[in-house]
Amino acid sequence: MSNEKKDNIEVTTSSVPAPVTKSLTNSAPLSILSYCMASILMTVTNKYVVSGMSFNMNFLLLAVQGFVCVGLISVLKALGIITYREFNKNEAKKWSPIAFLLVGMIYTSSKSLQYLSIPVYTIFKNLTIILIAYGEVLWFGGKVTSMALSSFLLMVLSSVIACYGDSNAEGNWNLNIGYFWMLTNCFSTASFVLFMRKRIKLTNFKDFDTMFYNNLLSIPILVISSFILEDWSAENLERNFPTDSRVATISAMVISGMSAVGISYTSAWCVRVTSSTTYSMVGALNKLPIALSGLIFFDAAINFFSVTSIFVGFAAGLVYAVAKQKQKEQEAANLPK
């Protein structure tokens, strides 16, 4: 077996791959397409599960996704496709606060996605970048360049436009609840990312190490929360999983968990065969198809404001990706030779 490492992400590949397999695993366009498809698949399947306003078992949904994720990466490790460190109790204790933050992040994400359309959810998710950027300034001594600040202003503008377009379409109480969960998700996501970054620096976790510990440690929290806080009566289970769509709903939950692994794997793949610059640009560009998928697969509001907000948000993500790359180049140039 041979390990290929780049930008602190580790992927294991077969030592003697067949010519066709080697060509595919080193294909930059295929890695980019796979990453985009995994992101869209996870967002759409999550939205499908929680789209019904009667769905109220979000902790159960997240627990199922966690089980699927841990099970799948265990199989991939056994097959030699990926690698991650073995479970360690001491590391688990140190990582447990991150697991609680993860639960807060994914729960508020599922709740906001339940009440908001995919385009609005995707656009408002951009605001998390602003919180993380200024959190890094406070915690890690980072800085915000004028170009990054311009991207932040575009993010705020796109969110205002999206809010106005969405309010025109369905100004109601459920929408207000959705914005509350979205705001909570922005803060919880920023907290999770910042705390996890600090812990990763101390533990030197790789991509799949992080995924393994995050999902494994969050499962007990999610299961206990589901049994304590959610209604497990036969009537409520029937409401959440109606007979006519039960198989489709459960399948979507499983696919969503698998796509989480797909995102992590394709992220590592994309960085390995392209570069961190290309990967960051793809992440920015990927917001456009994710937002458009909400217009295609769900009854999202389609008007001048909603479409404009998508493209302004897309531009904001693109400007931010370019700003971060220029900042990295400048920092590298300033390092002592």
Domains of the chain: which residue ranges? 30-140+169-275
DSSP percent split of the chain into helix, strand, coil, nearest 5: 80, 5, 15
Contact 111, 58 (CB under 8 A): yes
Q: What pLDDT is attached to residue 301?
A: 62
Q: What pLDDT is attached to residue 16?
A: 42
Q: What pLDDT is attached to residue 8?
A: 43
User: How far is the CA of 297 from the CAs of 48, 200, 249, in angstroms?
Assistant: 9, 37, 15
Q: What pLDDT is attached to residue 220?
A: 94
Q: What pLDDT is attached to residue 6?
A: 40
Q: What span, in angstroms and rounded, lies between the C-alpha atoms of 66 and 55?
A: 19
Q: What pLDDT is attached to residue 249?
A: 81
Q: What span, in angstroms and rounded, lies between the C-alpha atoms of 204 and 186?
A: 26
Q: What is the pTM of this model?
A: 0.73
Residues of the chain with pLDDT under 70: 1-25, 52-53, 165-175, 264, 267-268, 271-272, 274-288, 293-302, 331-337
Q: What pLDDT is attached to residue 280?
A: 57
